[in-house]
Structure 1
Amino acid sequence: MGIDFTVFKGSKSGEILESKGHRDVGPTQALVELSHCGVCGTDEHYKHADQGLGHEGVGIIKEVGSLVELISDLRVGDRVGMGVSTLTLLRGPCAPTSGQHFKCQNSEQFGTANLDQGCFGSGVAWDVTALFKIPDEISSESAGPLMCGGATVWGPLYEHGFKAGDRIGIIGIGGLGHLAIQMASKMGMEAVVFSGTQSKKEEAFQLGASEFYATKGVTKLQGVQLVDGLLITTSVLPDLALYLPILAPFAKIFPLTISMDKIPVPALPFVLYGYSIIGSGGAHPQSIKAMLRFCAKHDIKPVIEKFPMTKQGVNEAMKKLEEGKVRYRGVLVV
């Protein structure tokens, strides 16, 4: 049967183009009719590439391949979400003994494979190893941003040994930060929030922040107890010199910003106190399943703005994203 789809693509000039495509289902794939897709900062990086945009998709499975029943419990009619990975490996030289097989070099990721399709559109062919069933308690419009934005902040909190009572510094209250605050607080951690100005202070506390500090023009943070982890969720990398004095020994720093810029840091504090910088661009498959269960149980959802899944809607969403005016995640609706 296969699937005919419309997809909105980037181009060399940066203009959003509408394209048509067709995919027949592969042995381990599902054909998904999309209903929603989150708009992520990563999409902005591919706006000038000849490829389908969007990787925070949600939709209904319409057809599955011949081998799907052998490797997955997903079936026709299931509501599923997808993120950056389009294929993760179940066997071979990078088998999932570590749970990190989605990072293997021969896995497939948004921006490096399947460039003819994307979740800014009406449908996709997706490998079932990279699809996740959405709990009934989570709406489709809320599920999209969780698949990448949510996974990006969940991974550091869930996979790196943090526990209830730990203090987690969160720099920025935006598309990532507002989800990190909710998750950390619901996990029993203290969400210590840093933002440029006082404008989002009340909202930070409503989301679950334990403490709030404005940093614009500040050269030394006063009265802040040490934090065990630091999530950098801002679109621009901050000066870490401001934050090193408030890190507990062996604190972990997670730069989550997609940026080509360097992170200048003095070496001595890392030698003396055992700090570590850990890159994290998502979460492993079992971790994502845990995130969806947790968000369903604790009613964690993104603050969203909705746009139509049309060329005009995509352009409007991307423009607001570029201008930093989205509060806090854009979602395209078919």
Structure 2
Amino acid sequence: MVTATQFRGSTSGDVVETSFVLPEIQPDEVLVRVTHSGLCGSDIHMLKLPLVLGHEGIGIIEQAGSACTRLKVGDRVGWGPANETCGNCSYCMSGKDAYCLTPKMYGVDGYDTHGSVCSHAVRKEQWLFNIPDALSAADAAPLMCGGGTVWVPLVDQCKPYERVGIVGLGGLGHLAIQFASKMGCEVVVFSSTDDKRDEALRLGAAEFYATNGTTDYSTLGVAKPIDRLIITTSAKFNLGLFYPVLARNAIILPLSVDGGDLVAPYMPTVLHGHSIVGSCICSRLPQAQMLDFAARHKIYCVVENYPMTLQGVTEAVDRLRNGQMRYRAVIAWES
């Protein structure tokens, strides 16, 4: 029996440190000693629930169940929001297990212990991923959710010869720029101010446009129409703002987690043949492919590092909640 240190949300919205005796592993489970955890924007939505925070875990397997065949003790692994799927529904059987009808995942199946801001965790082998040696833990942790979030729409919807617009240069945006440019796409970044222009170009963008104060985006001077528009910012706006710079049959892909409604102009959407496409977390195969691609193409994360202590976790949560994080937080146990 292992007693894990865990950092949970609470009804007050404060981070609390707790201890929890983990259950014995089942034949298809492993015990992971957590070394690092990313902190994602969606964690902020969970702060008033008493669940273990975090869903971007990296760690070392300390025990493996008798039925585990893919992973072994000593392997460095990572996991994202999903912890278990049924394996039998039409989505699971067609390789779209992220859309399983009865998933067990972070924040969905109640007040659970599926989080990653902790010392140890029990996980199903099914949803664990080997971390390539070429990826540091600080780079790998944000990829377990943030990386997968931008990877799926890029590989599903974007071709190498297309112009891909990325709205927002933050936790998701700085990864989307790198992935899209390494895939061969012409990357066009839209950000509110000019402050991040040089950084966007260093990450792989071909063009950069500051939108603050502009109400008619046809005046931005965008060189050619945008084929695919990936929205990574959490700011809400009428999607019609971007219609003047979109190609016909453009696809708009909103990725951030938020409430409320998407707003788009009806007739221009119909007449121009635009599509608005939702995208869930990565299924298992594309997640593994994303990690391999990131290692081979040296995708990196811009992170702030924090210790896995109550003070460190609280500081990271506060900076993320206040919009001060640049761009992802990684919380780590001291070696």
The answer for the alignment partner of 2:11 in structure 1 is: 12
Q: Deviations over 1:75-107 (max 9, x none)?
A: 1111011001011333x2346332212211212
Report % sequence identity: 44
The answer for the alignment partner of 1:85 in structure 2 is: 82
State the number of aligned residues: 328
Query: Which runs of 5 or more residues in structure 1 are unaligned?
Result: none
Aligned residue runs from structure 1 range 185-264, under 5 A: 185-221=181-217, 222=219, 223-224=221-222, 225-264=224-263
Q: Which moved more, 1:244-253 or 1:196-205?
A: 244-253
Question: What is the distance in 2 between the residues matched to 1:293 and 1:6?
Answer: 31
TM-score by length of 2: 0.95
Q: Which moved more, 1:2-11 or 1:204-213?
A: 2-11
| 1:159 equivalenced with 2:156 (yes/no) | yes
The 3-state SS of whatever aligns with 1:7 is strand
User: Are 2:6 and 2:19, in contact at CA under 8 Å, matched by a contact in 1?
Assistant: yes
The answer for the alignment partner of 2:310 in structure 1 is: 311
Offset, 1:238: 2.7
User: 1:133 is aligned with what amino acid?
Assistant: N
Question: What is the distance in 2 between the residues matched to 1:240 and 1:52?
Answer: 35
The answer for the alignment partner of 2:68 in structure 1 is: 68
Offset, 1:326: 1.0
Q: Deviations over 1:209-247 (max 9, x none)?
A: 010000001112233211111111112223312101222
Choose which of 85, 92, 103 in structure 2 pairs with 1:107.
Answer: 103
User: Are 1:192 and 1:212, in contact at CA under 8 Å, matched by a contact in 2?
Assistant: yes
TM-score by length of 1: 0.95
Structure 1 runs (4+) greater than 6 angstroms displaced: none
Offset, 1:32: 0.7
User: Are 1:3 and 1:31, in contact at CA under 8 Å, matched by a contact in 2?
Assistant: no
The 3-state SS of whatever aligns with 2:93 is coil
User: 2:125 is aligned with what amino acid?
Assistant: V
The 3-state SS of whatever aligns with 2:92 is coil
Q: Deviations over 1:43-88 (max 9, x none)?
A: 100000111101000001111122222xxx1111110110010113
User: 1:120 is aligned with what amino acid?
Assistant: V
Q: Which moved more, 1:206-215 or 1:96-105?
A: 96-105
The 3-state SS of whatever aligns with 2:330 is strand
User: 1:55 is aligned with what amino acid?
Assistant: H
User: Are 1:30 and 1:64, in contact at CA under 8 Å, matched by a contact in 2?
Assistant: yes
User: 1:331 is aligned with what amino acid?
Assistant: V
User: 1:184 is aligned with what amino acid?
Assistant: A
- Over the residues paired in the alignment, what is the CA RMSD in angstroms? 1.3
Question: What is the distance in 2 between the residues matched to 1:95 and 1:243?
Answer: 33
Query: Which runs of 5 or more residues in structure 2 are unaligned?
Result: none
The 3-state SS of whatever aligns with 1:294 is helix
Question: What is the distance in 2 between the residues matched to 1:15 and 1:200?
Answer: 32
